[in-house]
Amino acid sequence: MYQGIIVFRYINFVLEGDLTKHLEDKEIIELYWSRDSSAITVSAEHYGNYCRQIAWNILQNHEDCEECINETWFRAWNAMPDARPNSLKSFLGAITRRLSLDYYRKSHAEKRGRGEISAIYDELQTCIPDSAAAAASKNSKGSDNNVERHLEHLALTAALNSFLSQLDSTSRILFIRRYWYSDSIRELAQNLHLNENRIKSTLFRTRKKLKKHLEKEGIVL
């Protein structure tokens, strides 16, 4: 599975706030573009807890979480002014998630099978291409391999977005919250006021549908 690099267009279905928040985002982004260091302070005030929750769901370790959050602001600072994200919240969340997954892989290289993220990996293993293929091509140095990897990534991202657009709102939210934000089944049940068995059943059916959809799009496991 292409861990940490796929950005779902439909993340904004769950993330986007009201117009006022969107305008505040534009102002914060302008601080980054003008190289005003207060951009980091303001980002932490607005989205620190949000990014921290993403990191905690994956890492379950306070020290690692704080390192990821600090690195998130550093990465955002270096990414702009070249980047001008439409949603700063989505942009920062994606950075935190990638960093958290990197931290997780490094710290669990010899301890796979523990924690929520391992369970999520296991669930997705049957319906999304395995990361081993991506890792193998990543280690290859040829430009042809890089182009092929990029095209595969684009195809998978497009297929996932197409799939998400076909889901009902409940299934879509469950899928994104579980597999993007790494929410536990218990957290999903509490936050969405749904029965845990119903959530497991819905996710299971959604994964089966996703596998069929990817196969139809010519994306083979």
Q: Phi and psi at residue 53, in whole multiples of 5°?
A: -65, -40
Please write the tens of the pLDDT for every residue from 31-71.
999 999 899 999 999 999 999 988 988 888 888 899 999 99
* Structure tokens belonging to residue 99: 């960093």
Q: Residue 136, Cβ neighbours under 10 Å: how many?
A: 12
Q: What is the pLDDT of residues 125-179, one digit of tens each?
A: 777 765 433 333 334 344 444 555 555 666 777 788 888 889 999 999 999 888 8
